[in-house]
Every structure is written in C-alpha cells, then in structure tokens.
Chain A
Amino acid sequence: MAALALERVTKAFGTRAVIRETSLELAAGEKLALIGPSGCGKSTLLRMILGLVVPDSGTVRVGDVVVSASSARAVRRRVGYVIQDGGLFPHLTAEENVTLVSRLNGRDGAALRARVSELAELAGLPEALLSRFPHALSGGERQRVGLMRALMLDPDVLLLDEPLGALDPIVRARLQEDLRDAFRKLEKSVLLVTHDMAEAAYLADSIAVMRDGAIVQRGTMKDLVDAPAHPFVAEFVGAQRTLTEALR
C-alpha cells in the first residue's frame, strides 16, 4: 500500500487552475523531491495532503485514510510538515514548540523529555538551545526545531516545503547532510519541495518535475538528464548551473 496517494486531484483558485488533474504516489519509505518553477503549485499540492487546501475533484489518501474534513485532524498527526523558517510559534520556546501537541494529549514527564533529547540529537540541535524562544535562534537552528516538531509524533510521512530555502550555503550543506542522515535512520516516506536540483538529487530517491499545475516527468536524476520527457524538463535541468560550469 502506498504511504501517500493523490488521485486525479484538481484545484482552481477562482478561475485560475492551479492544480490540473494530477496523480502522485509515494511508496512507504520512498523519498521524492518535487521541483518546478515558482507558482507551479508545489506548495498547494503539499497543503492538499494536510487538508489545508481542499481539492475540487479527486482524492487524497494518506495510508488507507482518505483525507476529508472529518479525517483531516487524524491525518495531520500522521504527517509531519516543515516549512521555510520552521513556522515556529514565537510565544513558545523551542522545546514547547516541539512538545505542544504531545502535552495537549496529556503526555508529560521523563518519557517526553527523553523523546525531545532523542529528536535534538537526530536533528543536530544542541540541547542548550531548547529553552530559547525562536527569535533567539538562527535560521538553521529554527529549521532543526521545525524538523523536531514535525517528527515528534513519529509520523509515517514527512512533507518539507523548501525547508532550506532561506539558509546560507554552509548552513544549508550542513543541514542537507543532517537531513539525509535522519531520513536514512527513520525510513519515512518523504515529499520534499525544493528549487535546487543538487539538493533534490542528494536527499531524494527520485524527482518529480512539476510545471503549471501538473507533473510532467518523474524519475531519477539520471532519467531526467538522459531522457527528458518534455523540452521543459531539459530546460529546467539545464538551468541549474554547476559550480564547475561556472568556473569554466
């Protein structure tokens, strides 16, 4: 059974079609990068999975649950969501951000504490930073806390929407490594939105290229380079200059 399946979903905002009949499946433990130009509908697709956007037609399934108004809350607890800059609540400390839902569910004490330590280790966040408020953390640190919060309930699926978009190259590279390690250890299904082909190739098993509300090709980096299904794919892949190319 697929960990995640979108079946012929569509979405229009007003008269503007943002998602055109799109289907997408993610196997358990599979890591897929979603790339495409700005405004092509990547975030909308992710938000659909969480029930933040309701498709006009088609169905979204997480595991064996069809996402609907009544099932959305249960689904959200099985799906981790990380956005740019972490989306942390400024009035809570890093640790409170991570543990909010658990505490509201009545979890407390040593087990909770241990879980937080475990996640801090996994996300590469020094434990001393846990008592800080988000405004006192760097962008990279906030992102690590965001990842911890997404993983707190041990979800089956992890959705990351340009998680490293706002970071400088060094921090970004460090986080990419840490994310890859975490993904390996956790064996979760991951859907990662990024603009960076290298990042996509580094973090994901395969890549889906999206354009104008639809997925035009899905495959490994090699597939995309060797056999682009569409001139757009070739163009998009080619637009990502490598460092060596730039030096030439």
Chain B
Amino acid sequence: MKQALVTALLVLMSLAVTRTASAKDGATMRVGSKRFVESYILAEMVAQLAREGGASVEHDQGLGGTAVVFRAIEDGSIDVYPEYTGTLAAATVKTGASDLAALRAALAPRGLAISDPLGFENTYALAVSRSVATKLGLTKVSDLVGHPDLRVAMSHEFLGRRDGWPGLAERYGLAFAAPPKAIDHALAYEAISRGESDVIDVYTTDAKIGRFDLVVLADDRRFFPPYDAVLVYRADLPARVPAFAKVLERLRGAIDATSMQKMNARAELDGVPFARVAADFLAKRAGSAGDRVGLLAGTLDVVKRHGPRHLMLVAVSLAMSIAVGVPLGILAYARRRVGAAVLGLAGVVQTIPSLALFCFFIPLFGIGPVPALAALFVYGLLPIVRNTHAGLVSIPADLRDSAIAIGLSPSERLRHVELPLASRTILAGIKTSAVVAVGSATIAAFIGAGGFGEPISTGLSLNDVTMIMEGAIPAAAMALLVEGAFVVIERAVVPRGLRESREV
C-alpha cells in the first residue's frame, strides 16, 4: 500500500502542475521531514531549537519521499527540511554539480537556501551479510561483478534514481541473473537476515548495519557523490523567524556520523520517540536505550496529539458529504435520468482506491488537510447518495399516493412524509460514511494531513509494530464510538412511530 502511494505521489509530482507558492503566515515555521528516522530526528532538532528560540513551530512528520518534500518546500507548504547534498544534486536540482556553492546557486532562483553542512555524511552504499562477504570474499562494489547469482533487493527510491541503482550498475558493469527486487527499505534488513536477498542498499548512518552484522562494500569507483547532511530552507526564513537563524548556527557541524548512527539506533531499534532522541542530543544527554514508553501511554499520547485532527478530518468531511449527498440522493429520486447518472458516477468514484483518490487532489490543493478533506468528502458521498435514493424509492406506493392525495405540495411531501420515512435508511448511509471516514482518514497522514495515520505511516516506514498499533487502536476505537453514537443519533432523528413499527 505504501509503495503504491510513493509511486502515485512520484507520478503526480512529475506532472509538474504549477501551484503558486503560498508562503504560510510569518508567525509559524513549518518543518518537514522525509519518511525515515534520521530525517524525523533532524527535523525534530530544528523544531525544538526554534521553539526554544521563541518561534511557533509545526513539524509535518514524514511528508513523503524526496520529490514530495522538495515540492512542499518549493510551494511554501513547509519552510525547512533536512536534506543531503548528493540528493539535491541528482534527484531535485539535476545540474550534475554537487558542491555546495553550485547547489546554492541552483536553488537561489527558487527562493531556497542551503545551510552549512550539519557535520556528517549519510551516503548510499551497498551491503551484504557477513557470511556472504566472507564466503565470496566481497569487500568492495566491484567484487560483485563476478557473482551474477546474487539476489539484489533495493529500496524503491534507490532503484528509481539516476544516482541510485541504474547509474551504479552502469558504472560497475553489474548484471545479475534476477533483476533487482524492489523492497521497502525498513524490510530490507529482515530480508537479508532471513537469507531472502544477498545485496541491499543502505545508508551509511543506518543503525541496523551493526545490528544485522552487515558488511558495507566500498565504493571503489567513487560513484556516489558526497551526501552531506544540510538543511534546505526558504530563503526568507531567517528574516521571518529570527529564531531560525540561531538554529542554523547551533547545528552547523554539530552532529558527527557516530552520534547520528547512535540516535538512529535509539529511535529505530529501541523505540525511543524521535522528539526525545533529538532533545537528549541537544541537551548533550546520552540517553538510555530502555526508556521506551509503554503501548498504553503511547496510545494515550497519540490520542491527545492526533485525536483532534483525526476527529476534525472525519467531522468536516462527513458534514460536507451529508450536505451534498442527501440533496444529490433526493435529486436522483426526483429525476430518474439524472438519478441513474449520479448513482453511476458515485459508484465509479467509489472504485478508485482511496490512496489514489487522496493523491488525485494533491495537484489541486497541495499537501495537508485540504486535499485529505476533499478525498474523504468524495469518498463519503456514495453511501449517503445511494441510501438517500434507496430510502426514498422504497417508500410504499400507497403512502406516496396518500401524501399526494391529501394535497401536499412536492416540497411538503418531501419534508413531512418522504424524508421522515426514508430517515432510517439515510442515517444508515451516513453511518457507513462516518465509519469509513474514520478508517480512510488514517490514510490522510500519507499526504501530510495528520491524524491517527501519522503514527501508522511512521510505524510502517520504521517497521515498528508498536507504533502502528498506537495509531490503529485509537482509530478502531473511534470507529466503534461512531457506531455507538449512531444508536443515539437514530433515536433522535428517526421518528418514534417508525422505530417502533420497524416496517419501513
């Protein structure tokens, strides 16, 4: 699912739909991060330091891959995010130049600036398990040439990038019997430790290199450009948020590779929250590995932090679905031909996978809660339209005739007879939409809308089941609560005579 999302996002980004940059209001600084631990931690450091300096800061965690995050900073959805010089050179700027001065010159026209290096490099590398390395005598990438039987598994991003696998394979003349398998980076280590693949791509600050006892192969033909960690920020940010200028100073050369690797290990392997890891580093605390909060405490924290946003996504989108869906259902009932068209269209929309629907709105509304609301709204329409129509159509003919025969006008009939008679069915449609919205809203986090999906998507990218549960449990609980709420709502909305007779 996540892979489909990344692919869909990349496709959409490459559509290059222009959206006028809308700088967010000056008071708040928005920090973005990519969807891996190191990016979260670095972004968290930036956010915390800026907050300390008095700025109001929002951290949009794990917006997506490079293309998504870079697009977000270009259009001003975020103000700053952690990046690597090599990535900028190849994947975004595409000048071929990789030194900082050239990159700065290339980004300046887009209103973007690059900080001084943060102090460590996180470059791509290939790694093999120690047993394979020993058996075949592998120490460097060029050693792979004589072993076409090795099974290669690469992250999606690495497989697709010019400065990733295609370029590397060309430079070294690598060819394998089986084409490289695309695999989520977080799962690659599991794959290699279970012996399902032999060669994977890693980052040099990856915590798991040590844990899984992998051998990193030397880049003996110097294919990978330098990947110095930097911050990319909107050029006006230091002026707009003075605290950020201090952040730049504070982080210049402040993090060495070992520190970064340890931080990654604490967050990724020991489950310490990113914010904590970042705070401990900034406070020069080593921190301990065993201070992970329990599932219950973690879940409660998630409810507190993400609950209001999730509820907002569901409530607002549902309100819109009702406001549009019920009238559409009535229209479909009143005008037979329009009805067939409306129901058909709504049915087609429903077959679009929710993830694709979410991505569909990104070119229109950018990233964040707005496209998520639009997608949830559209998704919530069909059950409401369909049930409104079905409820009205199923009114017994003699009752419909009676309403006409006693001399009610069409609008009086609708209001005083038909809608009340259809109310139970309509409400059932609304309930379906509400429950679906609670579930679908977890996907909204993948496009940066927040909610309970945030710990889920982060947990997925980290292969951290506990974190996934911390998002999934409150989402499931909210779905149950919504179900329960509708028992009460039905009592208030469905006329007593109908509830008692249970006929219509």
| B406 partner residues in chain A, CB cutoff 8 A | 76, 81, 100-101, 149-150
Interface residues of B in 382-411 (CB under 8 A from A): 398-399, 401-409
Q: Which of B399, B403, B406, B417 has the most CB of A within 10 A?
A: B406
| B402 x A87 contact (CB < 8 A) | yes
A 113-136 to B, binary, CB cutoff 8 A, 1 in contact else 0: 000000000000000000001111
| B501 x A73 contact (CB < 8 A) | no
| B402 x A73 contact (CB < 8 A) | no
| A79 partner residues in chain B, CB cutoff 8 A | 405
Contact A52:B421 (CB < 8 A) given known A76-B406, A93-B497, A133-B497: no
Chain B contact residues (Cβ within 8 angstroms of A): what range? 20 to 34
In the bound complex, what is the Cα–Cα distance between A101 and B407 (angstroms)? 7
| B404 x A133 contact (CB < 8 A) | no
Sample (26) of A-B pairs whose CB atoms are under 8 Å apart: A47-B401, A73-B407, A74-B407, A81-B402, A81-B405, A85-B398, A87-B399, A87-B401, A87-B402, A89-B402, A89-B417, A90-B421, A90-B497, A90-B501, A90-B504, A91-B420, A91-B421, A91-B423, A91-B497, A100-B416, A101-B407, A101-B408, A104-B408, A135-B497, A135-B501, A149-B406
Q: Is B500 an interface residue, CB under 8 A from the partner?
A: yes
List the interface of chain B (C-beta within 8 A of A).
Answer: 398-399, 401-409, 412, 416-417, 420-421, 423, 495-498, 500-501, 503-504
In the bound complex, what is the Cα–Cα distance between A47 and B398 (angstroms)? 11
Q: Which of A77, A87, A101 has the most CB of B within 10 A?
A: A87
B403 in complex: contacting residue of A74, A84, A89, A133, CB < 8 Å: A89
| A83 x B402 contact (CB < 8 A) | yes
Smallest distance from the beta carbon of B335 to chain A beta carbons, Å? Answer: 17
| B405 partner residues in chain A, CB cutoff 8 A | 50, 52, 76, 79, 81, 87
Contact A104:B416 (CB < 8 A) given known A83-B398, A133-B496, A133-B501: yes
10 extra A-B contacts, CB within 8 A, seeds A91-B420, A104-B412, A149-B406? A52-B401, A77-B407, A87-B402, A91-B421, A91-B423, A91-B498, A92-B497, A101-B407, A101-B408, A153-B407
| B420 partner residues in chain A, CB cutoff 8 A | 89, 91
Interface residues of A in 49-107 (CB under 8 A from B): 50, 52, 73-74, 76-77, 79, 81, 83-85, 87-93, 100-101, 104
Q: Which of B402, B405, B408, B497 has the most CB of A within 10 A?
A: B405
In the bound complex, what is the Cα–Cα distance between A18 and B407 (angstroms)? 25
In the bound complex, what is the Cα–Cα distance between A77 and B421 (angstroms)? 23
Contact A52:B501 (CB < 8 A) given known A83-B398, A89-B421: no
Which A-chain residue is minimally distant from B502 (CB atoms)?
A135
A 186-203 to B, binary, CB cutoff 8 A, 1 in contact else 0: 000000000000000000
Which B-chain residue is minimally distant from A77 (CB atoms)?
B407
| A135 partner residues in chain B, CB cutoff 8 A | 497, 500-501, 503
| A149 partner residues in chain B, CB cutoff 8 A | 406
In the bound complex, what is the Cα–Cα distance between A104 and B416 (angstroms)? 9
Query: What's the A-B contact tally at a CB cutoff of 8 Å?
Result: 76
Smallest distance from the beta carbon of B14 to chain A beta carbons, Å? Answer: 55
Which A-chain residue is minimally distant from B499 (CB atoms)?
A91
Smallest distance from the beta carbon of A96 to chain B beta carbons, Å? Answer: 9
| B417 partner residues in chain A, CB cutoff 8 A | 89
| B412 partner residues in chain A, CB cutoff 8 A | 104
A87 in complex: contacting residue of B398, B500, B503, B504, CB < 8 Å: B398
| B503 partner residues in chain A, CB cutoff 8 A | 90, 135
Which A-chain residue is minimally distant from B420 (CB atoms)?
A91
User: 8 shortest A-B CB distances, which residue pairs?
Assistant: A135-B501, A133-B497, A91-B495, A87-B402, A76-B407, A81-B405, A77-B407, A91-B420
Smallest distance from the beta carbon of B402 to chain A beta carbons, Å? Answer: 4
| A87 partner residues in chain B, CB cutoff 8 A | 398-399, 401-402, 405
In the bound complex, what is the Cα–Cα distance between A134 and B500 (angstroms)? 10
| B416 partner residues in chain A, CB cutoff 8 A | 100, 104
Q: Which of A73, A77, A88, A90 has the most CB of B within 10 A?
A: A90
Contact A133:B500 (CB < 8 A) given known A90-B421, A104-B416: yes
| A47 partner residues in chain B, CB cutoff 8 A | 401
Which A-chain residue is minimally distant from B498 (CB atoms)?
A91
In the bound complex, what is the Cα–Cα distance between A52 and B403 (angstroms)? 11
Smallest distance from the beta carbon of A115 to chain B beta carbons, Å? Answer: 15
| A77 partner residues in chain B, CB cutoff 8 A | 407
Q: Which of A73, A84, A85 has the most CB of B within 10 A?
A: A73
Smallest distance from the beta carbon of A73 to chain B beta carbons, Å? Answer: 6
In the bound complex, what is the Cα–Cα distance between A76 and B423 (angstroms)? 27
| B404 x A52 contact (CB < 8 A) | yes
Q: Which of A74, A77, A91, A104 has the most CB of B within 10 A?
A: A91
| A101 partner residues in chain B, CB cutoff 8 A | 406-408
In the bound complex, what is the Cα–Cα distance between A135 and B420 (angstroms)? 16
Smallest distance from the beta carbon of B494 to chain A beta carbons, Å? Answer: 8
In the bound complex, what is the Cα–Cα distance between A65 and B244 (angstroms)? 83
In the bound complex, what is the Cα–Cα distance between A73 and B412 (angstroms)? 12
| B498 x A90 contact (CB < 8 A) | yes
In the bound complex, what is the Cα–Cα distance between A81 and B400 (angstroms)? 13
In the bound complex, what is the Cα–Cα distance between A93 and B498 (angstroms)? 10
In the bound complex, what is the Cα–Cα distance between A85 and B405 (angstroms)? 15
| A153 partner residues in chain B, CB cutoff 8 A | 407
A 210-243 to B, binary, CB cutoff 8 A, 1 in contact else 0: 0000000000000000000000000000000000
